[in-house]
Amino acid sequence: MNTCRTVSVPYYKGHMELHVPQEVLAGVLTSPFADSQGVPDPSELVRQALRSPIGSAPLAELARGKKNILVVTSDHTRPVPSHITLPILTEELLQASPEAEITVLIATGLHRATTPEEQAVKFGSAMLEKFRFVVHDAFDQEQMRFVKILPSGARFEVNRLALETDMLVTEGFIEPHFFAGFSGGRKSILPGISSAVSVSENHSARAIAHPLARGGMLKGNPIHEDMVDAARAVNVAFTLNVALNSRKEIIGAFAGELEAAHEEGCAFVSRMCSVPPIKGDIVVTSNGGYPLDQNLYQCPKSISTAADCANDGAVIIIAASCVDGYGGEHFRELITRGTPQEIQDYLLAIPPDKTIPEQWCAQIYARIMLSHEIIVVSDHLTAEQAERANMRHADTLNEALAMAQDIKGRDAQVVVIPDGMSVIISQ
């Protein structure tokens, strides 16, 4: 009698169960990072990080005498626990400079605007009433100001609020990022509060295709280097980043000078989430559930992780709610414009200064789909939408597994990466 192993895979605000026959299960890849316990008192950990910073004077000391302070925070697509971190940040700032006016700028990059309802959930009504919150709009060119040409030759344009402040502070979280190396730190500025032109050029086909533009890699990564240069150019005075487990609980806090604090946080995350590869003919993963699985646009992050464990011709299964559908109009147009080869050829021919917003996502999908069939498991994305994007659709993980076995055979080896966002596949 065949026995199955049940694996719980994050999906939106809950989980899906996958039942895999034990004899074909090659492995389940998780990391201590995902399964670690949150700290008993996350607020105290954050306060300690602010008062004993890395490579910097304490936040309160830096803020003394400042009149106009800008705090850049993450939007609704990022699980930064701002309901914990932002009150502590602003408390420290106001204790040092009680008369200061604090503006909170929500870094959306090229994402849609964070709704008032989403803001209330993420930040709390009390914070919204106490401070001025502004949602960045990368496409509002009137709000952008040119700053410099970055090392890659790209134009750097940023929200004018970053240039009209006495002190610029950022907060975010650190996780592996499939082409920037890691999230957090400098990403609050570029792409966070930069113009659509700058974000697109930073994510150009040439940059995405660079061999060092990959997960876990900072040194020599041209995308990271441009991001750092941009953050330096707007004089980020202080940064706070947290590391989170799979339950979005704080397991580490890193505050201080932009680069030093971010690098220490990245080293911590790298130690926690690097795992050796296990190769499979079918690789199952997710985007870690809400908020990162809200659309297809975000899913190449975990699909890239899955691809690192995929044999030639393997099928990749991604569980993602896609409550927002494709996720972006430019992405929708690109991912549905033809076959993967046609999409790739079209995008690689676009020069960096003509980069289309969101093209990076379609480029990575196309690159992976040239070698692997993708099945998306979603109860919001339709079968027709998936097919237009050169993918198959399934309602459940077990249905998707059966479809993949029809393609690869019943003896195909299966690898499961429950949260593809929390794992770096060591090469």
Is 368 in the same domain as 401?
Answer: yes
The residue-averaged pLDDT of 319-331 equals 94
Residue 34: inside a domain: no
DSSP string, 5-57: EEEEEEETTEEEEEEEEGGGEEEE---HHHHPPPPS-HHHHHHHHHHS-BSS-
Q: How far apart are CA 312 and CA 316, in angstroms?
A: 11
Residues with catalytic roles:
111, 177
Neighbours of 236 (CB within 10 A): 23
Q: Is residue 16 within 8 Å of residue 401, measured between CB atoms?
A: no
Encoded tokens for 413: 């080896």
CATH number at 331 reads 3.90.226.30
Average pLDDT over residues 136-163: 97
In a domain, 335, yes or no: yes
With 90 as the cut, is the pLDDT of residue 427 above it?
A: no
| Residue 175 and residue 104 share a domain | yes
Pairing mode of beta strands 392-394, 414-417? unpaired
Rounded mean pLDDT of 282-286?
98
**Domain-terminating residue out of 272, 293, 315:** 272
Per-residue confidence band for 421, with pLDDT thresholds at 50, 70 and 90: confident
Q: What's at 66, amino acid-wise?
A: K
What does R_g of the chain's alpha carbons equal in angstroms?
21
pLDDT tens-digit profile of 96-112?
A: 999 999 999 999 998 99
Residue 308, amino acid: D
Q: What is the pLDDT of residues 396-414, one digit of tens each?
A: 999 999 999 999 999 999 9
Q: What is the CATH number of the domain that holds 97?
A: 3.40.50.11440
Q: For residue 121, is pLDDT > 90?
A: yes
- In b/e form, how buried is each residue of 179-191, taking b as 16+ CB within 10 angstroms? bbbbbbbbbbbbb
Same domain, 10 and 59: no
Percent of the chain with pLDDT over 70: 99
Is residue 37 assigned to a domain? no
Pair (246, 387) in one structural domain: no
pLDDT digits (tens, 9 = 90+) for 172-222: 999 989 899 999 999 999 999 999 999 999 999 999 999 999 889 999 999
Confidence of residue 1 (pLDDT cuts 50, 70, 90): low
Q: Which helix (H) or strand (E) holds 244?
A: strand 236-244
Question: Are 24 and 94 within one domain?
Answer: no
Q: Are residues 264 and 304 in the same domain?
A: no
Q: Per-residue pLDDT tens for 20-63?
A: 999 999 999 998 776 788 899 999 999 999 999 999 999 999 99
Angle at 60 (CA atoms; ends 57, 63), nearest 5 degrees:
95
Identify the pLDDT of residue 31: 84
Is the pLDDT reported for residue 275 higher than 70?
Answer: yes
Q: Which three-class secondary structure state does DSSP give residue 320?
A: coil
Q: Does any domain span residue 169?
A: yes
89 plus 217 within the same structural domain: yes
- DSSP symbol at 138: T
pLDDT-wise least confident of 101-105, 337-341, 354-358: 354-358
In-domain check, residue 97? yes
Residue range 369-392: average pLDDT? 97
Are 104 and 241 in a shared domain?
Answer: yes
C-alpha–C-alpha distance, residues 193 and 108, integer Å: 7
Q: Is 362 exposed, middle or buried (0-12, 13-18, 19+ CB in 10 A)?
A: buried
Eight-class DSSP state of 421: G
d(C-alpha 295, C-alpha 216), whole Å: 23
Judge if 260 and 283 occupy the same domain.
no
Q: Are residues 253 and 162 in the same domain?
A: yes
The C-alpha angle 373, 377, 383, rounded to 5 degrees, equals 80
426 pLDDT band, cuts 50/70/90, is confident
Residue 246 pLDDT level (bands cut at 50, 70, 90): confident
Instruction: Put residue 388 in one of left, alpha, beta given phi > 0 → left and psi -120 to 50 → alpha.
Output: alpha
Domain tally for the chain? 2
Mean pLDDT, the chain, rounded, equals: 95
Q: Is residue 36 part of a domain?
A: no
Pairing of strands 68-74, 101-107: parallel
Looking at the fold, whether 21 and 77 belong to one and the same domain comes out as no
Assess if residue 20 is contained within a domain: yes
- Domain boundary (248, 272, 296) is at 272
**88 inside domain:** yes
CA distance 370 to 365: 9
The percent of residues above 90 in pLDDT, for the chain, comes to 90
Last residue of a domain, one of 272, 293, 328: 272
pTM for the whole structure: 0.85
CA–CA separation, 154 and 351 (whole Å): 11
Whether pLDDT at 373 is above 70: yes
Smallest CA-to-CA distance from 45 within 185, 257, 244, 242 is with 242
Same-domain check for residues 111 and 236? yes
- pLDDT for 328 equals 84
Got the DSSP string for 186-229? GGGTTTTTB-HHHHHHHT-HHHHTSTT-STT--TT-HHHHHHHH
- Which residue range forms the structural domain that includes residue 137? 42-272
